[in-house]
Homo-oligomer: A and B are copies of this chain.
Amino acid sequence: MATNQAVTTSERGAMTEQITETIRAVVDKLDIPPTLHEPLFAGNERAYVLECIDTGWVSSVGSYVDRFEKMLAEFTGAAQAVAVVNGTAALQMALTICGVKPQDEVLVPSLTFVATANAVRYCGAVPHFVDVENRTLGLDACKLNAYLKDVACIEDGVTKNRRTGATIRAAVPMHTFGHPVDLDALAEVAGQWHLDVVEDAAESLGSYYKGRHTGTFGRMGALSFNGNKIVTTGGGGALLFKNPEDGKFAKHLTTTARVPHRWEYFHDMLGYNFRMPNLNAALGCAQLEQVNSFVERKRELAEEYLAAFANVPGVKIYREPVFARSNYWLNALILDEEYADQRDGVLAATNDGGVMTRPIWTPMHKLPMYAECPRMDMSVTESLEKRVINIPSSVSRRTK
């Protein structure tokens, strides 16, 4: 198939078929479910959850919450972890702790799940969209730096958007499909522009950048334990902290800001009801005990896809950058530019054939509620939008 010549209809049909067949061959070989991700409960899930019911501790106080937080801190190397109701709440709390105020701007990749931008909006702030790079599928620090030189200035140690006059307070890189962004490059840009970094590590539990766990580079990191994540609590999330003072503040904020007292109900600021219930934390403890084997299975599957697609023309399986050891949460197939028009054909053929696939998210700047938000050139985002297809990536294996 010559890439520089016009592609014929029959070539396209053949390509769709070859991609579909190759996905199916891997799914069958490893005997994974033909869905994007299904959780695996092969450890102490039943025992821990039953213990909650038998002891009556199912709600927002209980030993599994503490244990889950300790396990998370230990696994990631964070100074502290605080469990919350979901990843969106974790992001909202992180931004609140960074002091994000109404009308402030927060730098967010446009190519992300909508929660990243929504969390900014919940603070009354404005998402300011940044392009991504092909190498990581995440925030492009270099392009961001050049852009900020163009549109921003520093006044009294605070970065201002010269067009809107708003303070640009923080940046929220998101580790797409578990693949770490270039965190050293980002740290340098953030340092220059006095930006707090909150890592949206919702998809990257078990992913490392230069040997260190994602979510521990920024001031805070946000994890998600939704049912489609590598480790699930049913619904849940967590914050990772460098600074124990931030962690203490997060506990206060997420427990309605109630001031500890034997009996008085006094709240000293606007707080939130965001603590993870003990029942969900129990599930999380059992899951986290197995996370290393889950990551191994995900990486094993990625190797299979990489090998299977090595000789399929017009398409590549995304491979982690050299600085990363990724959890390969969701494997991504990326069509070459000239085959971008094949995306919907592949999506239809696979889904029609019982193998679940999906495109990457609609970029945030194309959603109606964010269409007017400030943003830079979005050429890489818009190119990837047309070419990325996620393919089955479960840790679990079907039993025949």
| Residues of chain A having any CB pair with chain B under 8 Å | 38-41, 45-46, 49-50, 52-54, 56-61, 85-89, 113-115, 118, 121-122, 124, 226-228, 232-235, 256, 258, 262-273, 275-280, 283, 347, 351, 357-362, 367-369, 396
Ordered nearest first, which 8 A-B pairs have the shortest CB separation? A59-B227, A234-B277, A234-B279, A235-B277, A88-B273, A58-B234, A265-B361, A263-B358
A124: nearest chain-B partner, CB-CB: B124
A47 → chain B closest CB, angstroms? 10
Question: Which of B59, B262, B361, B368 has a CB less than 8 Å from the CB of A232?
Answer: B59
A364: nearest chain-B partner, CB-CB: B267
A368 → chain B closest CB, angstroms? 6
Complex CA–CA separation, A362 to B257 (angstroms): 13
Is B362's CB under 8 angstroms from A265's CB?
yes
Is B263's CB under 8 angstroms from A359's CB?
yes
Question: Which of B41, B49, B276 has a CB less than 8 Å from the CB of A56?
Answer: B41
Is A268's CB under 8 angstroms from B368's CB?
yes
Is A256's CB under 8 angstroms from B115's CB?
yes
A334 → chain B closest CB, angstroms? 16
A203 → chain B closest CB, angstroms? 14
Is B49's CB under 8 angstroms from A53's CB?
yes
Is B264's CB under 8 angstroms from A58's CB?
no
Complex CA–CA separation, A266 to B232 (angstroms): 24
A368: nearest chain-B partner, CB-CB: B268
Is B271's CB under 8 angstroms from A118's CB?
yes
Question: Which of B270, B276, B359 has a CB less than 8 Å from the CB of A118?
Answer: B270
A331 → chain B closest CB, angstroms? 16
Complex CA–CA separation, A362 to B232 (angstroms): 37
Is A235's CB under 8 angstroms from B59's CB?
yes
Question: Which of B45, B57, B114, B368 has a CB less than 8 Å from the CB of A53?
Answer: B45
Complex CA–CA separation, A115 to B275 (angstroms): 14
Is A280's CB under 8 angstroms from B234's CB?
yes
A273-B115 contact in complex given A279-B280, A351-B263, C-beta closer than 8 Å: yes
Q: For A88, what are the chain B residues with a Cβ–Cβ distance below 8 Å?
A: 272-273
8 A-B contacts (beta carbon < 8 Å): A58-B234, A87-B273, A88-B273, A118-B273, A265-B358, A267-B362, A270-B369, A280-B280
